Structure 1
Amino acid sequence: MHVNKAPDNLLTLFGKRIAESGDKPAYKFLVTDDHYNMISYHDFHERVLGYAAFLQHDVQVKPKERALILYPPGLDYIYAFYACLFAGVIAVPAYPPDTRNVNRIISIIRDCSPSVILTTHQHQRILDNFIAQHRLGDSFSGQVIVLPEVAEERLHQHYTDPGMQKHDIAFLQYTSGSTSDPKGVILTHENLMANSHCIEANLKTRRGMEMVSWLPPYHDMGLIGGIIHPLSMGMTATLMSPLNFVKKPARWLKMISDATHADGVMSPAPNFGFELCTEKVTEEQLKGLHLDNWESAICGAEPIRLSTYENFCRRFKAAGFKRSSFVPVYGLAEATLLLSGEVTQRNPFVGVFDAAGIKHNKVRNAGADSDGEQELFTRMIGCGPVVKDHSALIVNPDTLSTCDENAIGEIWIRGNSIAKGYWNKPADTTFNAYTKEGAGPYFRTGDLGFFRDTQLYIAGRLKDCLIINGRNHYPQDIEYTVSSVDDLLRKDSTAVFVMEVTAEGRLKEEVVVVQEITRIREELPDFSALFNAIRRAVFDAHGINVAEILLIEQSSIPKTSSGKIMRHKAKELYAEKKLKTITLSSVHTDQ
Structure 2
Amino acid sequence: MLDRNASTETELAPPGATATFDTHPRRLADFATLGDALDYAAAGRCGLNFHDARGTLTRAFPYAELRDAALDYARRFVALGIKPGDRIALIAETGPEFAICFFGAVYAGAWPVPLPLPTSFGGREAYVDQLGVQLNSCDPALLLFPPELAEFCSAAAANAKVTSRDWDSLAEIEPAAGELPKADPDDIAYLQYSSGSTRFPHGVAVTHRALLDNLRAHGIGLKVEDGDRVISWLPWYHDMGLVGCFLSPVAMQMSVDYLKTEDFARRPLAWLDMITRNPGTSVSYSPTFGYDICSRRMSSQTRAEDRFDLSRWRIAGNGADMIRPDVMQAFVDSFDAAGFEASAFCPSYGLAEATLAVSLMPPGEGIRLELVEENELSGGLPGDDERPRRYRAVVNCGKPVTGMEVEIRGPAGEELPDRGIGKVYVRGLSVMHSYFRDEESTKACLSDDGWLDTGDMGYMSKGYIFIVGRAKDMIIINGRNHWPQDIEWAVEQLPGFKSGDIAAFAITGPSGEETPAVLVHCRVSGNEERGRLRDEIRERVRAITGITPVVELVPPRTLPRTSSGKLSRTKARNLYLSGEIQPYDIAA
TM tier, smaller: 0.7 to 0.9
Q: Of residues 43, 59, 66 in structure 2, which corresponds to 1:37?
A: 59
Q: In structure 2, what is the Cα distance between the partners aligned to 1:112 and 1:181?
A: 12
Tell me which residue corresponds to 2:437: 424
Query: Partner amino acid for 2:132?
Result: I
Q: Deviations over 1:116-148 (max 9, x none)?
A: 11112233354333333x3x22xx3x3434245
Q: Deviations over 1:167-187 (max 9, x none)?
A: 000111012436301100011
User: Offset of 1:33 from its aligned partner?
Assistant: 3.9
Amino acid at match of 1:88: G
Which of 488, 495, 500 matches 1:504? 495
Identify which range, 508-517 or 244-253, moves more after superposition: 508-517
Q: Residues 140-151 of structure 1 correspond to what in structure 2 (within 5 A)? A: 140=162, 142-148=163-169
Q: Does 1:388 align with 2:402?
A: yes
What amino acid maps onto 1:417 in structure 2?
Answer: S
Match of 1:55 in 2: 77
Matching residue's letter, 1:12:
D
Q: Within 5 A, what are the aligned runs for 1:197-346? A: 197-260=216-279, 262=280, 264-281=281-298, 282-284=300-302, 286=304, 287-346=306-365
Contact 1:362 1:407 in 2 (8 A): no
Letter in 1 for 2:403: D
Moved more, 32-41 or 406-415: 32-41
1:76-134 CA-partner distances (Å, limit 9, x unpaired): 222221111121111110025644433331221111211011112233354333333x3
The amino acid that maps onto 1:499 is E
Aligned pairs for 1:349-388 (under 5 A) are 349-360=368-379, 376-388=390-402
- The CA deviation at 1:212 is 0.5
Number of the residue aligned with 1:70? 91
Instruction: Give the CA deviation at 1:338.
Output: 0.5
* Paired residues for 1:434-583 under 5 Å: 440-464=449-473, 499-500=488-489, 501=491, 502-504=493-495, 508-509=499-500, 510-512=502-504, 575-578=545-548
- Residue 123 of structure 1 aligns to a residue whose secondary structure is helix
SS at 2:472 equivalent: coil
2:38/2:250 contact within 8 Å kept: yes
2:40 maps to amino acid: K
2:561 is matched with none
Normalised TM-score (structure 1): 0.75
Deviations 1:139-169 (A, max 9, x none): x3x34342457699xx889473320011000
Contact 1:292 1:319 (8 Å CA) reproduced: yes
2-side partners of 1:199 and 1:429: how far apart?
27
Q: Identify if the C-alpha distance between structure 1 residues 461 and 157 changes in structure 2 by more than 3 Å, giving closer, same or farther.
A: same
Contact 1:250 1:285 in 2 (8 A): no
Contact 2:422 2:459 in 1 (8 A): yes
Distance (Å, rounded) in 1 between the aligned partners of 2:117 and 2:367 = 38
User: Partners in 1 of 2:380 and 2:99 — Cα distance?
Assistant: 43
- The match for 2:562 is none
Deviation string, structure 1 residues 28-76 (Cα, Å, up to 9, x no partner): 343544342221222222112111121112x121111001102533222
Amino acid at match of 1:68: A
Q: Indicate how the Cα distance of structure 1 residues 465 and 86 shifts in structure 2: closer, same or farther if over 3 A, else same.
A: farther
Write the distance in 2 (CA, Å) between the matches of 1:392 and 1:589: 48
Percent identity of paired positions between Structure 1 and Structure 2: 23
After superposition, the Cα gap between the structure-2 partners of 1:28 and 1:421, relative to the gap in structure 1 and judged at 3 Å, is same
The one-letter amino acid of 1:8's match is A
Structure 1 residue 505: Cα displacement? 8.6
Gaps of 5+ in 1: 365-373, 435-439, 467-494, 520-530, 537-546, 550-570
Indicate if the aligned counterparts of 1:216 and 1:241 stay in contact, CA closer than 8 A.
Answer: yes
The CA deviation string for residues 444-495 of structure 1, in whole angstroms up to 9 with x for no partner, is 00000001121110011112299xxxxxxxxxxxxxxxxxxxxxxxxxxxx9
CA contact (8 A) 1:52 1:159 kept: no
Query: Distance in 1 between the 2:498 and 2:154 partners?
Result: 45
What is the deviation of 1:9? 0.9
Aligned equivalents of 2:329 and 2:497: distance in 1? 11
Alignment of 1:159-198 (within 5 A): 160-177=179-196, 179-198=198-217
Shift of 1:284: 2.2
Deviations 1:186-206 (A, max 9, x none): 111011100111110111224
The answer to whether structure 1 residue 101 and structure 2 residue 127 are counterparts is: yes
Deviations, residues 12-42 of structure 1 (Å, cap 9, x unaligned): 12211211x14x4433343544342221222
Match of 1:410 among 415, 420, 423: 423
Report matched runs for 1:106-117 at 5 Å.
Answer: 106-117=132-143
Deviation digits for residues 397-455 of structure 1 (CA, Å, limit 9, x no counterpart): x3111112232000000001100110011233144337xxxxx4300000000011211
Answer yes or no: is the 8 Å Cα contact 2:134–2:198 preserved in 1: no
Change (3 A) 1:100 1:206: farther
2:558 maps to: none
Runs of 5+ consecutive residues of structure 2 not aligned to the other structure: 1-26, 119-123, 476-482, 512-517, 523-532, 536-540, 556-583
Is 1:340–1:383's contact at 8 Å kept on the other side of the alignment?
A: yes
Residue 496 of structure 1 and its aligned partner are, at CA, apart by 9.2
Q: How far apart in 1 are the matches of 2:311 and 2:128? A: 43
Deviation at 1:241, TM superposition (A): 1.2
On the 8 A contact 2:311/2:340 being kept in 1, the answer is yes
Moved more, 505-514 or 375-384: 505-514
Question: 2: distance between equivalents of 1:47 and 1:442?
Answer: 39
Question: Are the structure 2 counterparts of residues 224 and 71 from structure 1 closer, same or farther at C-alpha, using a change threshold of 3 Å?
Answer: closer
Q: Which amino acid aligns with 2:454?
A: T
Q: 1:245 touches 1:251 (CA, 8 Å); kept in 2? A: yes
Give the partner amino acid of 2:266.
K
Give a deviation string over 1:366-424, Cα, whole Å, max 9, x none: xxxxxxxx95433222000000111000011x311111223200000000110011001
> Contact 1:496/1:514 (CA < 8 Å) preserved in 2?
no
Instruction: Give the residue type in structure 2 aligned to 1:48.
Output: A
Distance 1:387 1:411 in 2: 15
- Whose relative contact order is higher, 1 or 2, with alpha carbons under 8 Å and at least 6 apart? 2
2:108 pairs with 1:119: no
SS of residue matched to 2:230: strand
| Structure 2 length-normalised TM | 0.75
Task: Say whether the 8 Å CA contact 2:135–2:157 is kept in structure 1.
Answer: no
Change (3 A) 1:128 1:170: same
Tell me the amino acid that sits aligned with residue 377 of structure 1: Y
- The residue identity in structure 2 corresponding to 1:76 is E
1:343 maps to amino acid: P
In 1: Cα distance, 2:70 partner to 2:472 partner: 39
Separation in 1, partners of 2:255, 2:65: 14
Give CA deviations for 1:198-233 in whole Å, capped at 9, x if unaligned.
Answer: 110111224541111101111100001111101111
